Amino acid sequence: MFRNRVAWAPSCGLLVLLWGHFGPVFSQQLSGFGEREASCFGTGCLVKVAGLADPGRKSLRECRGAGCVPAVQVRLVLIGQKITHADGQARIQINVRGFDDFKLRASVSGLPDDSPPPLYQFRIQVTGSAPRDFVSDLAPSPEWTFSETSEEAGVELAQSVTFSVIVHVKTPQRTIKQQAKLGPYLTVSDQYAVDLFTTVIAPVMMHPRCLNCHVAGNSPTQGDDRHLHSPPVNRDTTVCTNCHGMSNGTTPGSPPGAPGWRLPPATFSFVNKGAHQLCRQLKDPSRTGGRSLQQLIDHVQSSKLIGWAFLPGPGRAAPPRWEDFFWKFPNWVHAGAACPEPEDRSRQHRLR
């Protein structure tokens, strides 16, 4: 037995010498063979397949590792819906019934050549005081049409809307899901807001009950003809509550009254201004006492002086549509507070 071990020893030495000479070349050939036949096995394996138009794309046949994910990219486009930007917000226009008809269209890039067609699922998420959630069926079509005549209609104003799509790509190991989003957008209706301001809000602000106090000069006016206040008064020196009490006088011509009777600052003047100028003024906190639009809603609905204008006492006409004013002023804000066009531009449009 000892002699057999001795006889085998020279053979082992010869093998070591041969491996030292030819081993590196043989190892490289084996390594190259392994890469070609089984190129992707481990977690995080990324395969670049020669011969594809995009060398970064991966073949599903050669992408076998648990972490091997094709570099799929998804893009989402909103078609047929108007997006605007105002006051630092992205806005989506809706009508009084909800959305206009529109489409969501997805496009996918980076799919492997041997991938089956992807499946698409679209979603519209509405958050706010009236949340809604619309989800399409999982389908091979890259488009989804949303119609206001469908049961999904009825999205309200002043909500936040996000559009998204999830693309399902099937691989031998699993289904890959890739998402794209648009939004969030604030739901507004510029046309509805303009109509409200033009027909409800501006006529009240232009009425003598408001104009008589919202003056730029040192003296208020009075009466429907807006003549100078009698007796003479001065913004800076007269104390209004010396004559104007907490309530109206009981006979025509007697002093009107309400809690906190006073002149607003001259910068709050409504005199000689059209609907466009008045609208812009309400949206400028420097001309509303620092109030935001939401704070203006509270002011309109709680101010005793504004309330007095609609109950001005005997012998005085009230502004029109007072119920509409109190309830539709908030609607104007929630619809996006869009302003009418300047009067000269509107006149030009009518002449065309």
Task: Tell me, yes or no, whether 102 lies in a domain.
Answer: yes
> Is residue 305 within 8 Å of residue 258, measured between CB atoms?
yes
pTM score, whole prediction: 0.70
Range 320-338 average pLDDT: 89
Instruction: Between 41 and 317, name the one with better pLDDT.
Output: 317
E strand intervals along the chain: 73-79, 83-86, 89-93, 102-109, 119-127, 132-135, 143-146, 160-170, 175-188, 221-222, 227-228
Give a yes or no: residue 21 inside a domain.
no
Give me the pLDDT at residue 39, please.
36
Residues 218, 316: one domain?
yes
| pLDDT tier, 184 (very low <50, low <70, confident <90, very high otherwise) | very high
Instruction: Indicate the average pLDDT of the chain.
Output: 80
What pLDDT does 100 receive?
76
pLDDT value for 349: 41
Asked if the structure places residue 6 within a domain, the reply is: no
| Whether the predicted pLDDT of 52 surpasses 80 | no
User: 100 and 173: one domain?
Assistant: yes
- The parent domain of residue 117 ranges over 76-188
Q: Are 158 and 202 in a shared domain?
A: no
**Which of the pair, 37 or 310, is modelled with greater confidence?**
310
Categorize the per-residue pLDDT at 64 as very low, low, confident or very high, splitting at 50, 70 and 90.
low
Confirm whether 50 is domain-assigned: no
Does residue 228 share a domain with residue 100? no
Tell whether 272 and 320 lie within a shared domain: yes
Q: Please tell me which residue, 161 or 82, carries the higher pLDDT value.
A: 161
Per the CB < 8 A criterion, the answer to whether 338 and 193 are in contact is: yes
Give the mean pLDDT of 24-41: 34
Domain identity same for 113 and 226: no
DSSP 255: P
> Residue 120 burial by CB count (10 A; 0-12/13-18/19+): exposed, middle or buried?
buried
Domain boundary among 168, 188, 208: 188
Question: How many domains does the chain divide into?
Answer: 2
Please indicate, yes or no, whether residues 125 and 220 belong to a single structural domain of this protein: no
Q: Which of 156, 188, 220 is the last residue of a domain?
A: 188
Mean pLDDT for the stretch of residues 40-58: 37
Average pLDDT of the residues in 333-339: 93
Q: What number of residues does the chain have?
A: 352
Q: Tokens 């930007």 identify what position?
A: 85
- The model's confidence at residue 56, banded by pLDDT at 50, 70 and 90, is very low
pLDDT at 72: 82
- Model confidence pLDDT, tens digit, residues 66-91: 556 567 889 999 998 889 888 788 99
Which has the higher per-residue pLDDT, 129 or 10? Answer: 129
Q: Is residue 13 part of a domain?
A: no
Pick the last residue of a domain from 155, 188, 221: 188
pLDDT band of 261, cuts 50, 70, 90 = very high
Residues 197, 275 within the same domain: yes
Q: Which of 268, 272, 243 is nearest to 257 (CA)?
A: 243
Q: Are residues 154 and 170 in the same domain?
A: yes
Looking at the fold, whether 156 and 246 belong to one and the same domain comes out as: no
The first and second tokens of residue 255, run together, are 């002093």
The pLDDT score that the predictor gives to residue 40 is: 37
Q: Is residue 40 a part of any domain in this protein? A: no
Q: Decide if 121 contacts 135 (C-beta within 8 A).
A: yes
Q: What per-residue confidence (pLDDT) applies to 231?
A: 93
